[in-house]
Amino acid sequence: MYKILIIMMIPLLFVVGCNKQDSNQSEQSEQTSSIQNVNATVQDSEVIATNLKVPWDIIQTDEGFFISQRGGTIIKVHENGQKTEMPLQMERDVVHRGEGGLLGFVLHPDYSQNQKAYVYHTYEEQGRRQNRVVLLKQVNQSWQEQKVMIEGIPGSNIHNGGRLEIGPDQLLYVSTGDAAQKSNAQDLNSLSGKILRMNLDGSIPSDNPYDNSYIYSYGHRNPQGMTWSEDGTMYASEHGSRAYDEINLIKPGANYGWPVIRGDEQKEGMERPVFHSGENTWAPSGLTYRNGHLYMAGLRGEQIREFDLEQKSSRVFVDGVGRVRDILFDGNDMYFITNNTDGRGTPQLNDDKLIKVVLQQDS
C-alpha cells in the first residue's frame, strides 16, 4: 500500500484506497469507499510541464523526458521543467485528424550511443489514411527519418492503435487498431487490429507465430497500451465497443475475439480478457506494470486505475485530473500526462500537463 507524499499544491484529486473493489462495481462507490476507509484524498502533486499540445507518449531519459504530440512534434522536457520543441524531418507528413497523428514513440535500446528512436504516425497515401513505423535519429534539436520499419498499416479517423514498446526480448512491439473495419481484426492478411512484433532493424523474427508475418496476436479492436511483468508475461489494454474495455494477457498467436466476443463471452479458440470494464467505460490508453500490479491510464474514465494481478481486483488509483493518456514509474515516482486538449476533454488552465506524484511505501 502506498501513501502520496505532498510536493506542491495543484487542484487534483488523488484516491489511494486500502480495500480491494470488484472490477464491475460503480466508480462512484469505489471512490467513496476508498476515501472513507483511509482518508487519503489529497490535492497535491508536482506539475513538471504545462501547455502540452495533445500529448500521446511519454519516455523518460537521464536528461528528462520526451513526449510525442499528436500534431507532429516531439517535446523534450528538461530536468528544470523547460521545454524544447523538436520537429520531425520525415518523407511523409504527419496527418493529424481524428485520433490519428504522431502517436507512439520509444527509444532504441542503444539510444545513449546511437541517438535513435522509433515513432508511429498517420500519413496519407493516394487519399487513404495509413499508419507506419519509422526509425529516427536525433540530430541537434530535431529528429530525422533513417528507415521505414513498416508502412501501409490501415488507418482511419478512429481506431489507429499506435503504441510502441521494446519488449524484454529486445524486439519492437506495435499495437494497431482495426481502423473502424471490424473484419480487419480477424484477417491474418491485414496488419490492423493486431499486435505486431519485429526485430530492431525491421525484419520479421524467426520465432513469430505466423510464418513470414509481423503478426504476434490478433482479434484486437484498438489496443493502446502494452507492458510486461518481471517474468516476461505481456499485457495489453484495449478499447472495447460501447464499454467492455479490456486488459488482456498476450500470448503469441492468440486470438482476442474482436468482433466476435467481448467481456465474459466465450468461443473456442478465442481468449477472454483478464479484466474488463463491463458496462462501465475506462477508454484505456497507456499501461505499465509495477510490483504485481498493472496501472492503466484512462481517457473517458478520467482516472489511473490499478489492477491487482494476484487478487484479480481493481480500483481507482488517481482521479480528478481529467483524461489521462500515458503513465510511467521510476522507483516510487509516478509520472503521467493528461490529454484534455484532444477534442474530447475539458481543458483546464495550462493543459495539458506532465505530472509527478511521489509514492512512499508504508513501513
Question: How far from the centroid of its chain's Cα atoms is residue 192's Cα?
Answer: 17
Total residues belonging to the chain: 363
Q: Is 159 a catalytic residue?
A: yes
pLDDT in tens, the chain (363 residues): 444 443 333 444 444 433 333 333 333 323 322 222 222 333 457 999 999 999 999 999 999 999 999 999 999 999 888 999 999 999 999 999 999 999 999 999 999 999 999 999 999 999 999 999 999 999 999 999 999 999 999 999 999 999 999 999 999 999 999 999 999 999 999 999 999 999 999 999 999 999 999 999 999 999 999 999 999 999 999 999 999 999 999 999 999 999 999 999 999 999 999 999 999 999 999 999 999 999 999 999 999 999 999 999 999 999 888 999 999 999 989 999 999 999 999 999 999 999 999 886 644
In the numeric block, the cell 504530440 is attached to 69
In the numeric block, the cell 480487419 is attached to 184
Note the pTM of the prediction, 2 decimals: 0.90
Hey, what domains does the chain have and what are their CATH numbers? 45-314+324-338 (2.120.10.30)
**Secondary structure, 3-state, 19-42:** CCECCCCCHHHHHHHHHHHHCCCE
For residue 305, list its beta bridge partners: 296, 316
The CA distance from 216 to 199, in Å, is 12
What's the pLDDT at 361?
62
C-alpha closest to that of 250 among 217, 297, 286 = 217
Of the residues 159, 220, 239, 276, only one is catalytic, namely 159
Contact 174, 167 (CB under 8 A): no
What's the pLDDT at 28?
30
CA contacts within 13 A on the Cβ side of 78: 7
Pairing outcome for strands 284-290 and 275-276:
unpaired
For residue 313, list its beta bridge partners: 308
C-alpha closest to that of 98 among 175, 177, 173 = 177
In eight-state DSSP terms, residue 114 is H
